[in-house]
Amino acid sequence: MAAKIISGNEVGEKIREELKEEINSLKGKGVTPGLATVLVGDDPASQVYVRNKGRACEKLGIYSEQHNLPRDTEETKLLELIAGLNEDPKIHGILVQLPLPKHIDESKVLYAIDPSKDVDGFHPTNVGLFFTEKNFEDMIGKQLFLPCTPHGCIELLQRSGVELSGKDAVILGRSNIVGKPVALLLMANNATVTICHSRTKDLDKICQKADVLVAAIGKPKFVKADMVKEGVVVIDVGINRTEEGLVGDVDFEAVKEKASMITPVPGGVGPMTITMLLANTVKSAKRTEKMMA
């Protein structure tokens, strides 16, 4: 039987509706959540991402400002801009669109963002807080920002009613922005987690054991139907631009015939990333409101 499709558009829409209520309540108390995006250079994909984030803010009533800087911007100028945004009370979240041009030290820039405005969740303070929490409820309850894409994956699973406790979860990919944080979040939800990467042996066999499979490797249609077991739940994080358009890391048409649930690409994890960014911005604004109260 074909899998149930986990729609990131639908789940994201539901979360954004919930956020709208929180935003209206914050506005009633004199706080309008504000997000600043910073883009250096003219990479077309990055321009689209930043524009979409601005539009998503507008739709929800979040104040947003976009700082588009030329490719040859000096690192010191960028750091000055971030220092200003750190101090700006209108701004509750700062997002620097990656990748940055090669002459700029990416870590230095990300570390310059005030951790209390680091809505991407990449600052070492947030990463450290995230790492030290054991339970998911504690992670979301504390004033730390979970990274958006991994948090979006967990929301998709939870809101689709997938029980994670005691399940075997396999993650393909060990990057700092997806694979590793997804592993921590699944573990915090009591799954037993295996992380695979390019040196993993017997990858097929490991994948075949998965109750939940998260693919984040950036290889089009890498996960084939014979690599998964019947009834697996598949979260496809991959975004690959191919001649046939955007495809994920999973051979969707074939795998959906064996899976019980699966995310499509596009329309799966992608919309959740922006949604969780908005959620983090609202979370940050709520803290401001509490400090004012």
Stretch that binds ligand NDP, among 80-88, 127-135, 192-200, 283-291 (CB under 6 A): 192-200
149 binds ligand NDP (CB under 6 A): yes
Question: Which positions from 152 through 191 interact with ligand NDP, judged by CB under 6 A?
Answer: 172-175, 177-179
Q: One symbol per residue from 218 to 257: x for binding ligand NDP (CB under 6 A), - otherwise; what is it?
A: xx-----------------xxxx-----------------
Residues carrying an active site annotation: 53, 97, 120
Residue count, binding to ligand NDP (CB under 6 A): 25
When the beta carbons of 26 and 156 are compared against ligand NDP, the nearer one is 156
Nearer to ligand NDP, 197 or 287 (CB): 197
Question: Which residue lies nearer to ligand NDP by CB, 90 or 241?
Answer: 241
Q: Burial-class residue 210 by CB neighbours within 10 Å (0-12, 13-18, 19+).
A: buried
**Cα angle 9-11-14, degrees, rounded to a multiple of 5:** 105
List residues near ligand NDP by CB under 6 A. Answer: 149, 172-175, 177-179, 196-200, 203, 216-219, 237-240, 269-270, 273
